[in-house]
Structure 1
């Protein structure tokens, strides 16, 4: 495999950092949401970390998009079936859309929540740009959750494709994981 068959190092590093960060955010959000007010201190800490890492993910999105615009990614193997190629492109663009929109909805719901104690980025105060609004909060909360679960589903689809091409395709050229290692 030549260097032209792989993503540039900066894109590979951002891919794996974002993968860890996104999965951590999804599972962290899933873990913290059922807590009630009896564990208010723990809940506050979990939300503080979730907001901080959510903003970090949003910053990483700009780095990732900058890399994506700067570098032409390697072509998918010509031996991949057309359906697999279309599904891969759909999944990648769906992931990009969702990793932009999920932090925006998270910020919106935190900003509009009536009892919000503010938004911080690892201790640095971030201005709340939206007025408090129960209706906007509920809509943003719903969208945030739906998009997070949709992102998880698309990531699972993405992983299933990688596993299929690496271990089950008869053509070894279809192993797309090599491009990201």
Structure 2
């Protein structure tokens, strides 16, 4: 190959790597941290949205020195909440995690999983995990159309599925530190 052809192929590969949506794989536990401001007036998950392959293990870690948090799936089996995980997926509740404690789950059913922190849902402490991709993973289930009994702050905090799929991970806004 001549130099021009090598440069052309190199540029094409770099471009393809940049525009291809990034997705976390199941190679090891993927971390979602629970954080809060120093005085506790703001709380959030980092990332707020995460795209993963089916079979990915997620580790929730409380990195907030001033608060306890939960990672809880929206599901009628847990506190009679509306279902916001795919049909057939196992609901989970980490119970209260003290600072530096962790909880792990493995997500196998393709679709959208919405979760929240029980004591901080009204403050908008929610996250969304997208497992698989629509059109690629059989049985993929999108987010629910109904809001259910979710507080406005929680509904406003969920990142759009398209953003999660395009970016691979959606980080908190400028008001929160990652």
TM over 0.5: no
Q: Normalized per residue, which structure has more strand?
A: 2
Q: Normalized per residue, which structure has more helix?
A: 1
Larger Rg: 1
TM-score by length of structure 2 reads 0.26
